[in-house]
Structure 1
Amino acid sequence: MRLISTSIKNQNIMQKENKQLLVITHLSQLLDVVTGFGGFIVPLVIWLTQKDSVLNMEENGKAIMNFRISMFIYFIICIPMVLLFGLGVLGFLILGILTFVFPIVNAIRVSNDQQPYYPMSIKFL
């Protein structure tokens, strides 16, 4: 038990706190709005390359990836729903608002030392 707690302490000492990188990781999801692509790839690359060196990057990266994968699945579900009385159009609108607002909200939460919260996120990772 003592070895486990010591290794956890050593791991936390080796990781540095970098709130700016966490905020950038959350905000990089908005690249889809600006450029049309990159909103999935850029946070994924940042998470995979920095998860061992930045404190809380593992949790934040998993939350971002779970949210992005969940939103993709919900967008796919909305496609056939368009034929059903146009409910898919309303779904696209709601999902579009969620994918724009929650990266900003969670970037603010991370900068205030709070845990990120993405609604409707299915835990894949």
Structure 2
Amino acid sequence: MQREDNQFLMFTHLSQLAHFVFPFGGLLVPIVLWQIKKDEILNLESHAKEIINFQISFSIYAIVAGILIILLIGLGFLLIIGLITVIVPVIGAVKAANGEFFKYPLTIQFLK
């Protein structure tokens, strides 16, 4: 039986910040949390898929921006991407703590 746990959903959103601790942590930690608790936490699947889609999308954007550094325009994009990957997960965490679902901006829907 699944239970509602907004605090765990909030933690799942904040776990994306693990990319500052180790490479790909922002993608791997949410996946691990999802797989461990998927049968216990209500709405975890939809939140986790949104988080994973966001992480994959912004990894692609960062790679493209890295390539665009050659044209001297990628550095600004990397700065913007860096800010978004910090600010948006915090917004998602606050929304989850309040029992709301947050649709991440500029996210490609790989997992539906």
For Structure 1 versus Structure 2, the TM-score category normalised by the shorter chain is over 0.9
CA RMSD of aligned residues (A): 1.0
Alpha-carbon distance in 1 for matches of 2:63, 2:37: 30
Question: Aligned residue for 2:19?
Answer: 32
CA shift digits 1:37-68 (9 cap, x unpaired): 32221111001221221001010000000000
Greater RCO, 1 or 2 (C-alpha within 8 Å, sep 6+): 2
Question: Aligned residue for 2:81?
Answer: 95
Question: Aligned residue for 2:69?
Answer: 82
Question: Quick one: percent identity of the two aligned structures?
Answer: 41
Runs of 4+ aligned residues of structure 1 deviating over 3 Å after TM superposition are: none
Of 87, 105, 108, 1:122 maps to: 108
For the residue of structure 1 that corresponds to 2:109, the secondary structure is coil
Question: Tell me, which stretches of 5 or more residues in structure 2 are unaligned?
Answer: none
Q: How many corresponding residue pairs? A: 110
Question: Tell me, which stretches of 5 or more residues in structure 1 are unaligned?
Answer: 1-13
2:90 is the counterpart of 1:107: no
Q: Which amino acid aligns with 1:107?
A: A
Output the TM-score relative to the length of structure 1. 0.84
Alpha-carbon distance in 1 for matches of 2:28, 2:50: 15
Which structure is larger by alpha-carbon Rg, 1 or 2?
A: 1
Output the TM-score relative to the length of structure 2. 0.93
